[in-house]
Chain A
Amino acid sequence: MSSPSATVHDNTYGQDDTYLYHHFEDLQQQHESSSLGMWAFLSTEVLFFGGVLGAFAVVQTLYGPAMKAASSHLDPILGAYNTAVLLVSSLAMALAVRASQLRQQRNTVLFLIATIVLGSVFLAVKAYEWNHDYHLGLVPGINFDLERYPGRQILFWSFYFTLTGIHALHMVIGIVIIAIMAVLVQRRWFSGGGATQIEMLGLYWHFVDIVWVFLYPILYLINR
């Protein structure tokens, strides 16, 4: 199964010391499989978020004014700040991918750590916001104040916590995997420098960031 493009990748997925699993013909095929697998996984993630975003779109259409009133309790500056933090973390991740392809072990680890730090900053800000919401009595099922926030506003908060909650869960999973990967790269666990693995991890991380880029306007900016 050799194709003309195989040589293009030789630097990155070199035949010299990278591990080839027994059931693949060559590294090209192995890399393509990983890549396609990750994209297929991300397409399931799109539908996963798509389901709840679709439901939210229905609610927003039906009860627009209530949703806008509820949304005004969110701080768009904090949201914008967090968006910027995540975009920079994506940059750090992209640099880590590049560094791993160039076999720069030290830089790879450093950029992975930078990604972890930025991701953690995002989560910290998010936690601060949630705490603030809690003190305002905005958490459905725990302390939601129906008298202060009447009507359908509670629906907005149900979706807000579901959406930001599953997004934060994706972030946490991402950070854990990045941390494991950073340790493995540091210990030279991957015979090929982990280029393929880190590239796939990068796809996941960018996806999680893009989800936030959608969440920010539909949650924070609907009444502006």
Chain B
Amino acid sequence: MGYLGADYTIKSWLLTTDHKRIGLLYMISITVFFLLGGAAATLLRLELMTPRGDVFGSPDDYNRSFTIHGVFMVFFFLIPGVPAVLGNFLIPLMIGARDLAFPRLNLMSWYIYMIGGLFTLYALVAGGVDTGWTFYTPYSTMFSNTQVIAAALGIFIVGFSSILTALNFIVTIHTMRAPGMTWLRLPLFIWAHYATSLIIVLGTPVLAITIILVAVERLFKVGIFDPAYGGDPLLFQHLFWFYSHPAVYIMILPSFGVISEIVTAFARKKIFGYSFMAGALLAIAVLGFLVWGHHMFVSSQSMYAGMIFSVLSFLVAVPSGIKVFNWTATLYKGSVSFKTPMLYALGFIGLFTIGGLTGLVLSTMATDVHVHDTYFVVAHFHYIMVGGMVMAYLGGLHFWWPKITGRMYSEFWGALSALTVFIGFNLTFFPQFLLGYIGMPRRYYEYPEEYQVLNVMSSAGASVLAVGYMMPLIYLMISLKVGKIAGPNPWAASGLEWETSSPPPTHNFLDTKIVTSGPYDYELQEFADMQREVQEQGIV
């Protein structure tokens, strides 16, 4: 049974250097952190059902809860999610390599991730953190007596894990490609991870040093960010967003890669504008580093700086628009089939578009002043981060599940979960746009009564969403035992990963792959034949 059956001992998993097994280790760990972050979100939504504070004992507890939610979701789920699980599993397979360039470093990245996670868990057990995931100074330096250092240290450590993973990807993509796999024949999934890795390698160290400065300030009471000593709290925001705005693209670019693979495979068409799609990924990676100031329009930043950051932020919409239009153009006159991965992918395109367009509202200074720090912002970034990354992650998981496990899952339950997640998501977060627009600020645990109806809708939506997220956990597990045998290529998809058995052998390929054409040649007769064959066998 391929790499899964190579050995069954616990040691063979915990000391593995096989990128596929490490991908699965990550899959399990990020799922645990996702559930922890989700549990915190459940408490938040319960609290917000009523205008008065009743679930939490005090506003402080509410603050701790949304900090847990933000820290776990952002640093331990959204950022590592697609790259560490799907990227780890698929990058060597897609480029015809036997492993990542540094297999032991890859295993070490997972251990570093876990150590960072344990530090952060400790911070929670030892009393929690109340600064929000952004750790703004001076909250995090002078006014918080919670476990800021432990949590920050956890994030610092987990940052190394992403740096090492990204470094591994960059080197692998440069040096390990199969003969004939030129840069313009790379699947877009690879391009997406390449662009993401560049951001991680160049952005994460800035967050690391920022965290060190916060820790130094707390430990030694020096005044780098403290105005009493001439320090500048805004300096923190600049350094923090220099990483954390690009971090949004760390979450979304790998998702773009996933969606590109799925859309072409289920539209049975070559991707529209391949080189523009690859170029757009790189353009977003570069532009992402130039827009951090749009988080600080109301933080006494100079008006002219604000205008420049605003214009640069608009520019990000151009490559993002290219992506959405090109996916749509790929669908046009394709023979589209609505399998589970495709349903998730279509959901992604819709939600990402809403998230992206509301981003323009926020990058326009005048409208940002109106909705700054309201639920409008919360809704916007959830549309990007959850509507984007989580939809793509689930879509990718369903698309490559047969490759990862060798089994098919129940298509009925798959489609149902995709629909439930889509409906639940919109029900949860669309009301928050309205709430923010009429003035409800974020991070408050009580609110005036006129906001209650929309808040109840949002909480109701969250419960639907939770059901949607639980379903795959169940039916994917069941598929491991009773799922139909998938065969090497159940979707009749293009790409080297589909040319090896499912699950792949430990060394990925039995022979050296030689690539003679670009990706996504779905118009070729051989793919039509392949699809007919799969359907006749009744696999999908």
Task: Flag whether B221 is at the interface (Cβ < 8 A).
Answer: yes
> Which A residues are in CB contact (< 8 Å) with B242?
51
Q: Are A162's CB and B213's CB within 8 A?
A: yes
Task: Flag whether B59 is at the interface (Cβ < 8 A).
Answer: no
Q: Are A58's CB and B235's CB within 8 A?
A: yes
Task: Flag whether A201 is at the interface (Cβ < 8 A).
Answer: no
Task: Flag whether B2 is at the interface (Cβ < 8 A).
Answer: no
Given A32-B175, A142-B220, A44 and B202 contact (CB-CB distance below 8 Å): yes
Task: Flag whether A190 is at the interface (Cβ < 8 A).
Answer: no
- In Å, the complex CA distance between A64 and B209 comes to 23
Can you list 12 pairs linking A and B with CB atoms under 8 Å apart? A33-B172, A37-B102, A37-B105, A40-B171, A44-B202, A47-B205, A50-B206, A59-B230, A62-B232, A155-B230, A157-B222, A159-B224
List CB contacts (< 8 Å) of B197-242 with chain A.
Answer: 201-206, 208-210, 212-213, 216-217, 219-224, 229-232, 235, 239, 242
Q: Are B204's CB and A44's CB within 8 A?
A: yes
Task: Flag whether A175 is at the interface (Cβ < 8 A).
Answer: no
- In Å, the complex CA distance between A194 and B229 comes to 50
Q: Are B205's CB and A45's CB within 8 A?
A: yes
Q: Are B170's CB and A36's CB within 8 A?
A: yes
* A188 CB, nearest partner CB in chain B, Å: 22
- In Å, the complex CA distance between A55 and B236 comes to 9
Q: What DSSP secondary structure best describes chain B's contact surface?
A: helix
Taking a contact as CB atoms closer than 8 A, the residue among B163, B168, B216, B507 that contacts A162 in the complex is B216
Task: Flag whether A103 is at the interface (Cβ < 8 A).
Answer: no
Interface pick from B50-58, B93-101, B112-120, B379-387: B93-101
Q: Are A41's CB and B223's CB within 8 A?
A: no
- In Å, the complex CA distance between A150 and B100 comes to 55
> Which B residues are in CB contact (< 8 Å) with A62?
230, 232
Contacts from B to A (Cβ < 8 Å): 97-103, 105, 163, 167-168, 170-172, 174-176, 179, 201-206, 208-210, 212-213, 216-217, 219-224, 229-232, 235, 239, 242, 507
Q: Are A162's CB and B212's CB within 8 A?
A: yes
Please tell me the number of chain A residues within 8 Å of chain B, measured between CB atoms. 40
Most buried by A among B175, B216, B221: B175
- In Å, the complex CA distance between A37 and B197 comes to 12
- In Å, the complex CA distance between A152 and B231 comes to 8
Given A23-B98, A48-B206, A49-B209, A33 and B216 contact (CB-CB distance below 8 Å): no
18 extra A-B contacts, CB within 8 A, seeds A32-B174, A48-B206, A63-B230: A23-B103, A36-B174, A36-B175, A37-B102, A40-B171, A43-B201, A43-B202, A51-B208, A51-B209, A52-B213, A141-B221, A152-B230, A154-B223, A154-B230, A157-B222, A158-B217, A158-B223, A162-B224
Taking a contact as CB atoms closer than 8 A, the residue among A33, A45, A55, A155 that contacts B223 in the complex is A155
* B210 CB, nearest partner CB in chain A, Å: 6
Q: Are A47's CB and B203's CB within 8 A?
A: yes
Task: Flag whether A166 is at the interface (Cβ < 8 A).
Answer: yes
Closest to B217 in A: A158
Closest to A37 in B: B171
> Which B residues are in CB contact (< 8 Å) with A151?
230
- In Å, the complex CA distance between A215 and B230 comes to 22
> Which B residues are in CB contact (< 8 Å) with A51?
205-206, 208-210, 239, 242
> Which B residues are in CB contact (< 8 Å) with A44?
163, 167, 201-202, 204-205
> Which A residues are in CB contact (< 8 Å) with B176?
23-24, 29, 33
> Which B residues are in CB contact (< 8 Å) with A155?
223-224, 229-231
- In Å, the complex CA distance between A59 and B224 comes to 9
Q: Are A52's CB and B167's CB within 8 A?
A: no
Taking a contact as CB atoms closer than 8 A, the residue among B97, B100, B163, B224 that contacts A158 in the complex is B224
Given A1-B179, A33-B101, A162-B216, A48 and B224 contact (CB-CB distance below 8 Å): no
Task: Flag whether A140 is at the interface (Cβ < 8 A).
Answer: yes
List CB contacts (< 8 Å) of A71-108 with chain B.
Answer: none
Q: Report A155-167 CB contacts with B as 1/0, cut-off 8 Å.
A: 1011100100010
Q: Are B167's CB and A40's CB within 8 A?
A: yes
* B307 CB, nearest partner CB in chain A, Å: 21
Q: Are B204's CB and A158's CB within 8 A?
A: no
- In Å, the complex CA distance between A24 and B176 comes to 8
> Which A residues are in CB contact (< 8 Å) with B220?
140-142, 158
Enumerate the 3 nearest inter-chain pairs by beta-carbon distance, A residue then B residue, closest first: A141-B220, A48-B205, A51-B209
- In Å, the complex CA distance between A43 and B197 comes to 12
* A186 CB, nearest partner CB in chain B, Å: 23
List CB contacts (< 8 Å) of A140-187 with chain B.
Answer: 140-142, 151-152, 154-155, 157-159, 162, 166
Closest to B172 in A: A33
> Which B residues are in CB contact (< 8 Å) with A23?
97-101, 103, 176, 507
Most buried by B among A1, A40, A43, A154: A40
Q: Are A52's CB and B209's CB within 8 A?
A: yes
- In Å, the complex CA distance between A24 and B203 comes to 29
Most buried by A among B209, B216, B231, B242: B209
> Which A residues are in CB contact (< 8 Å) with B167?
37, 40-41, 44
Q: Report A20-41 CB contacts with B as 1/0, cut-off 8 Å.
A: 0111100001001100110011
Given A23-B97, A141-B220, A33 and B230 contact (CB-CB distance below 8 Å): no
Closest to A146 in B: B229
* A203 CB, nearest partner CB in chain B, Å: 14
Q: Are B230's CB and A47's CB within 8 A?
A: no
- In Å, the complex CA distance between A49 and B212 comes to 11
Q: Report A51-73 CB contacts with B as 1/0, cut-off 8 Å.
A: 11011001100110010000000
Most buried by B among A47, A58, A154: A47
Closest to B100 in A: A23
* A222 CB, nearest partner CB in chain B, Å: 17
> Which A residues are in CB contact (< 8 Å) with B221?
140-141
* A31 CB, nearest partner CB in chain B, Å: 9
- In Å, the complex CA distance between A45 and B168 comes to 16
Closest to B508 in A: A23
Taking a contact as CB atoms closer than 8 A, the residue among B101, B203, B224 that contacts A37 in the complex is B101
- In Å, the complex CA distance between A59 and B101 comes to 41
- In Å, the complex CA distance between A154 and B231 comes to 10
* A154 CB, nearest partner CB in chain B, Å: 5
Q: Are B97's CB and A141's CB within 8 A?
A: no
> Which B residues are in CB contact (< 8 Å) with A66?
230
Q: Are B98's CB and A22's CB within 8 A?
A: yes
* A34 CB, nearest partner CB in chain B, Å: 8
